[in-house]
Amino acid sequence: MKIDPRRTDRGTSITITHVLTIGITTLLIAVLLTSSGTLLENETERSAESSLETIGERLAGEIESVDRMTTNGADSVSITADHPRTVANSRYTVTLLSSCTESPLVDNSSSCIRLTATGTDTEVYVPVVTDTELKDESSASGGSLEIYLDGNDIAIRRAS
């Protein structure tokens, strides 16, 4: 076999190797960034859900305290409770429900609190056991909240 001295493809394998290396590296970095974004989003939702559950449990205890005071004969009851304004960098809303028909995990006949984080589309339901009815759809955004007796019902609003 005779080699032609005018052939110019001797450096082609090095060029192809460099192009393939850059292509594979770019693909791996793109996959890494995509998967880390998904992981971060999942962790944010999990953090928001955990925080909302904690706030909901505290609110349930505070609502039950107002209920005990009303059943002991108090005509005017009001508790102001400080809670975080945000969870996982997202504002949230607290809504009282006289029956939990929307929650798959809470008995439909019981009252509950619905906590909804707006930035992460996370929703948590916490059951509340009271003798006094909850004012249905009474709601307030997170932060300093006032739980009070509104006529014959327990309601919630932003504390002033």
Q: Give the tens place of pLDDT for each residue, 97-146.
A: 988 877 666 666 688 999 999 888 899 999 998 999 999 889 999 999 99
| Whole-number pLDDT of residue 87 | 93
Dihedral sign for Cα atoms in the order 46, 52, 57, 60:
negative
Cα gap 145→98, rounded to integer Å? 19
Instruction: Provide the pLDDT confidence category of residue 73 given band limits of 50, 70 and 90.
Output: confident
Identify any residues that bridge with 148 across adjacent strands, giving them in sequence order: 78, 155
Please name the residue that has the structure tokens 């082609």: 12
pLDDT at residue 156 greater than cutoff 90: yes
Cα gap 78→149, rounded to integer Å? 7
Lowest-pLDDT range, 38-42, 84-88, 108-112, 126-130? Answer: 108-112
Determine contact, residues 82/105, Cβ cutoff 8 Å: no
